[in-house]
């Protein structure tokens, strides 16, 4: 199991454009990745409803997790995305 | 957040933008927004789709559009014949008006409701406006700004 905790960099939080880009990136990965808030229930990173349900605001810490071959790269790809501001303008 | 006057169960739209406009007009009807917010909702949709699956789209304005929001509110517009939404079929449009950071809590509670396929089905199929209002009642309730 590979896990990494990152802080949401997008200034409006993980919704709309940032959420959409995140979900699309997760769907393109060869392994399933889950995402959860501290102590929260993990949701599939490739589910827009799942990701929106987190209600992850700017500065919130989320934990990405994946298993098996390619897990490390997959988690790193998504962690990198979340640590950038994905908002428009 | 969702008032009876912002619920339409039997709407028809010529396309995506028309459907969004109707969602915006329902928000306008309850005094939650200024009319310029409607354009901002369409602008948002052109930049990124608000389709979330389950035949549901959740149109809302851009960051700049927040100035046109008077108070947090939802609108619910159903298109029984469906609307083509960039290749997806949308039967339910839930318009969102949110001030400040209110959108995070609103989207989160709304997503939790839609993740339950039975609840999403009710929203697509019921003819009871009260049932819709009741189902969406938790939206925005459990969050402080």
What domain range includes position B106?
2-135
For chain A, the domains span: 2-82
Q: What is the percent of chain B with per-residue pLDDT over 90, rounded to a whole number?
A: 83
Structure tokens at A35: 């995402």
Q: Which of A42, A49, A58, A89 to mutate to test the interface with B (most CBs of B within 10 A)?
A: A49
Residue B145 included in any domain = no
Average pLDDT, chain B: 93
Residues of A in contact with B143 (CB under 8 A): 55
Residue range A64-72: mean pLDDT, rounded? 95
Q: Report whether pLDDT(A62) > 50.
A: yes
User: What's the pLDDT tens digit per position in A15-52?
Assistant: 878 899 999 999 999 999 999 998 899 999 999 999 99
Q: What is the model's pLDDT at position B16?
A: 97
In this prediction, residue A85 carries a pLDDT of 84
Residue B144 lies in a domain: no
Q: Min CA distance, B95 vs chain A (Å)?
A: 14
Q: Which of A12, A48, A57 sits opposite B53 (nearest CB)?
A: A48
CATH number of the domain that residue B32 is part of: 3.40.930.10
Phi, psi of A47 (to 5 degrees): -110, 115
A52 vs B101: CB contact, 8 Å cut-off? no
Using CB atoms, pick whichever of B44, B47, B52 lies closest to residue A49.
Answer: B52
**Percent of chain A having pLDDT more than 90?**
78
More confident residue, B110 or B103: B110
Judge whether B143 lies within some domain: no
pLDDT level of residue B142 (50, 70, 90 thresholds): low
* Closest alpha carbon to B91 in B132, B62, B38: B132
Q: Mean pLDDT over residues A49-72, rounded?
A: 95
How many H helices and E strands in chain B? 5, 5
In a domain, B85, yes or no: yes
With contact defined as beta carbons under 8 Å apart, do A45 and A18 qualify? Answer: no
Out of A12, A55, A89, whose CB is closest to B108? A55
What phi, psi does B118 have (nearest 5°)? Answer: -65, -40
Residue B132 to residue B7: CA distance in whole angstroms = 8
Model confidence at A12: pLDDT above 90: no
User: Would you place residue A82 in the very low, low, confident or very high pLDDT band (cuts 50, 70, 90)?
Assistant: very high
* pLDDT score of B143 more than 80: no
B77-97 mean pLDDT: 96
Does B17 fall in a domain?
A: yes
Contacts of A13 in chain B (CB under 8 A): 101, 104
| Residue B117 located in a structural domain | yes
Instruction: Identify the pLDDT of residue B127.
Output: 94
What is the third-level CATH fold of A2-82?
3.30.1340
> How many domains, chain B?
1
The phi-psi region of residue B58 (left if phi > 0; otherwise alpha if psi is between -120 and 50; otherwise beta) is: beta
pTM: 0.90
Only one residue has tokens 């979900």, namely A23
Q: Please, is A70 exposed, middle or buried when counting C-beta atoms within 10 Å of its C-beta (0-12, 13-18, 19+)? A: middle
A59 CB burial (10 A radius; 0-12, 13-18, 19+) = exposed
pLDDT at B144 over 60: no
Catalogue the active-site residues of A: 15
Q: Report chain B residues whose CB lies below 8 A from the CB of A49.
A: 52-54, 111, 114-115
Establish if B43 belongs to a structural domain: yes
Residues of chain B neighbouring A51 (CB-CB closer than 8 A):
111
In the three-class reduction of DSSP (H, G, I as helix; E, B as strand; rest coil), residue B128 is classed as coil
d(CA B100, CA B71): 10
Q: What is the DSSP string of A29-84?
A: SSS-EEEEETTS--EETT-HHHHHHH---TT-EEEEEE-STTHHHHHHHHHHHHTS
Q: Which of A51, A60, A86, A61 is nearest to A3 (CA)?
A: A61
Sheet with A33-37: list strands edge to edge: A2-7, A61-66, A33-37, A43-44
**Contact check, Cβ <8 Å, A88/B143:** no
- Give catalytic status of residue B103 as yes or no: no
B40-71 confidence digits (pLDDT tens): 999 999 988 999 999 999 999 988 888 999 99
């Amino acid at each position: 199991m590979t896990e990494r905790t990152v802080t949401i960099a997008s200034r409006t939080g993980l919704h709309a454009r940032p959420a959409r880009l995140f979900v699309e990136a997760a769907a393109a990965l060869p392994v399933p990745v889950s995402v959860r808030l501290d102590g929260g229930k993990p949701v599939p990173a490739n589910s827009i409803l799942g990701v929106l349900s987190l209600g992850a605001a700017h500065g919130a810490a989320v934990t990405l997790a994946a298993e098996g071959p390619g897990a490390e790269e997959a988690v790193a790809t998504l962690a990198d995305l979340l640590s950038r501001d994905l908002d428009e303008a | 957040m969702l008032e009876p006057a912002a619920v339409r169960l039997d709407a028809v739209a010529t396309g995506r933008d028309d459907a969004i406009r109707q969602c915006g007009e329902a928000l306008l009807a309850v005094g939650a927004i200024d009319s310029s917010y409607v354009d901002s909702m369409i602008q948002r949709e052109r930049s990124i789709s608000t389709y979330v699956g389950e035949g549901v789209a959740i149109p809302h304005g851009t960051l700049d559009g927040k100035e046109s929001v008077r108070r947090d509110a939802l609108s619910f517009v159903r298109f029984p014949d469906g609307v083509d939404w960039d290749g997806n079929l949308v039967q339910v449009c839930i318009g969102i008006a949110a001030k400040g950071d209110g959108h995070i809590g609103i989207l989160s509670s709304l997503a939790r409701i839609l993740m339950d396929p039975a609840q999403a089905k009710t929203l697509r199929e019921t003819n009871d406006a009260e049932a819709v209002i009741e189902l969406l009642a938790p939206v925005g309730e459990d969050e402080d700004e």
